[in-house]
């Protein structure tokens, strides 16, 4: 039976003590009114010491015993921050013990694995949420409000651009950019955040025609470039370009062109250009360049995702991004890979 998270602060376990775990520990410390970091599951004592220094409040238990943490009734929520290759068994152990799971992206290395993870949690009756923190950025929230209000009219054209730079040292890390550990390259590891945000504003994609490749600028197994033409179910058309081979590093930009105006969304602001000549910048000043590649983003965004998830579990509602909703991004990535492999357009199952 799923554990209850009615009592605040809610006990949370962090599974995995790698790079993104630092962001989670900082976020959990900042959200102490709502959550209590009760345990960190890690096989490495040196990482535990490092993370302990970031903890505010009572230090958590550091343990390698996942089963014991899963069985603890005082820990109804676990954040899973292991690599994509170390997911299915971890989630199965947690879900079967009734622990609700907030999962770092991606949901799985393949669409099939992602569906399996979602179904494991659904069968066990636990809530599965996915960390897609671009959704909680101020420009994204403002864009969602404008889209919902309807004054922009019909969506006609979409541009999703993820022009990132990663040095070869990034891919020299064992497993990075391999199918065995990560499930792929730039799409699953980096661009999936922009894909999720874009789809939350546009609705589903109906078909794609795509090419993926590894550029001569990187030595890696999976793709560092993906280019696709998109046909959306709503009738709009658009483009998707994602790469980690674009120097200097720039920020991700989503542009949505409607009948009555266009939105330009990036991490720093939302720019609205109405056809009648009005224009405005909301939710922060726009900065075009100079962004540095981020290792995990700001903790405030993770904090907002964690706070939403524990409230969702407590209230028995859907979290901001459920596991099932996250499958939309996986379906699009899978279709882009299929289209690139076959050289033909690929329809997405609705």
Ligand X SMILES: NC(=O)c1ccc[n+]([C@@H]2O[C@H](COP(=O)([O-])OP(=O)(O)OC[C@H]3O[C@@H](n4cnc5c(N)ncnc54)[C@H](OP(=O)(O)O)[C@@H]3O)[C@@H](O)[C@H]2O)c1
**Residues of the shown chain interacting with ligand X in the complex, contacts defined by CB under 6 A:** 16-21, 42-44, 47, 81-84, 86, 104-105, 131, 133, 189, 296-297
**Shortest-Cβ-distance residue relative to ligand X:** 18
- The least distance separating ligand X from the CB of residue 282, rounded to whole angstroms, comes to 23
C-beta of 76 vs 84, nearer to ligand X: 84
C-beta of 135 vs 331, nearer to ligand X: 135
C-beta of 134 vs 255, nearer to ligand X: 134
Sequence-ordered list of residues with C-beta below 8 angstroms from that of 200, at least 6 positions apart, any chain: 135, 144, 321
Helix (H) or strand (E) holding 271: strand 269-274
Pairing of strands 279-282, 346-347: unpaired
- The least distance separating ligand X from the CB of residue 330, rounded to whole angstroms, comes to 13
Rounded Cα distance between 273 and 336, Å, is 30
C-beta of 40 vs 348, nearer to ligand X: 40
- The least distance separating ligand X from the CB of residue 335, rounded to whole angstroms, comes to 21
- The least distance separating ligand X from the CB of residue 135, rounded to whole angstroms, comes to 11
Pairing of strands 77-80, 61-63: unpaired
Rounded Cα distance between 312 and 34, Å, is 12
Rounded Cα distance between 115 and 17, Å, is 25
C-beta of 178 vs 273, nearer to ligand X: 178
- The least distance separating ligand X from the CB of residue 56, rounded to whole angstroms, comes to 21
Q: Kindly give the residue spans of alpha helices, DSSP state H, lying in the chain.
A: 19-30, 45-52, 66-71, 88-96, 111-124, 138-149, 168-172, 186, 192-202, 299-315, 323-342
Q: For 108, left (φ over 0), alpha (ψ -120 to 50), or beta?
A: beta
- The least distance separating ligand X from the CB of residue 176, rounded to whole angstroms, comes to 9
C-beta of 164 vs 272, nearer to ligand X: 164
């Amino acid at each position: 039976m799923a554990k209850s998270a009615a009592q605040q602060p809610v006990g949370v376990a962090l599974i995995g003590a790698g790079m993104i775990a630092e962001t989670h520990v900082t976020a959990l410390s900042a959200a102490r009114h709502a959550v209590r970091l009760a345990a960190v599951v890690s096989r490495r004592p040196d990482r535990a010491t490092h993370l302990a220094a970031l903890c505010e409040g009572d230090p958590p238990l550091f343990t390698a015993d996942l089963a014991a943490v899963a069985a603890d009734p005082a820990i109804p929520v676990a954040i899973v921050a292991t690599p994509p290759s170390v997911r299915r068994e971890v989630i199965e152990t947690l879900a079967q013990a009734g622990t609700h799971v907030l999962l770092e992206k991606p949901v799985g290395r393949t669409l099939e694995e992602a569906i399996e993870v979602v179904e494991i949690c659904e069968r066990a009756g636990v809530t599965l949420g996915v960390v897609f923190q671009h959704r909680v950025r101020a420009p994204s929230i403002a864009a969602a409000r404008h889209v919902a209000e309807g004054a922009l009219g019909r969506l006609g054209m979409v541009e999703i651009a993820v022009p990132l730079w990663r040095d070869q040292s990034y891919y020299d890390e064992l497993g990075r950019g391999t199918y065995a550990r990560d499930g792929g390259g730039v799409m699953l590891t980096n661009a999936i955040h922009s894909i999720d945000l874009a789809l939350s504003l546009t609705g589903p994609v109906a078909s794609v025609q795509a090419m993926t490749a590894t550029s001569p600028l990187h030595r890696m197994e999976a793709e560092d470039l993906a280019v696709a033409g998109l046909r959306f179910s709503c009738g709009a058309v658009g483009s998707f370009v994602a790469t980690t081979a674009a120097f200097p590093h720039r920020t991700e930009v989503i542009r949505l062109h409607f009948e009555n105006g266009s939105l330009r969304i990036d991490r720093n602001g939302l720019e609205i250009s109405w056809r009648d000549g009005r224009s405005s910048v909301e939710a922060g000043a726009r900065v075009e360049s100079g962004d540095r590649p981020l290792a995990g983003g700001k903790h405030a965004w993770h904090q907002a995702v964690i706070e939403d998830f524990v409230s969702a579990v407590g209230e028995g509602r859907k979290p901001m991004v459920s596991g099932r909703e996250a499958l939309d991004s996986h379906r699009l990535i899978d279709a882009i890979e299929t289209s690139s492999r076959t050289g033909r357009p690929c329809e997405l199952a609705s």
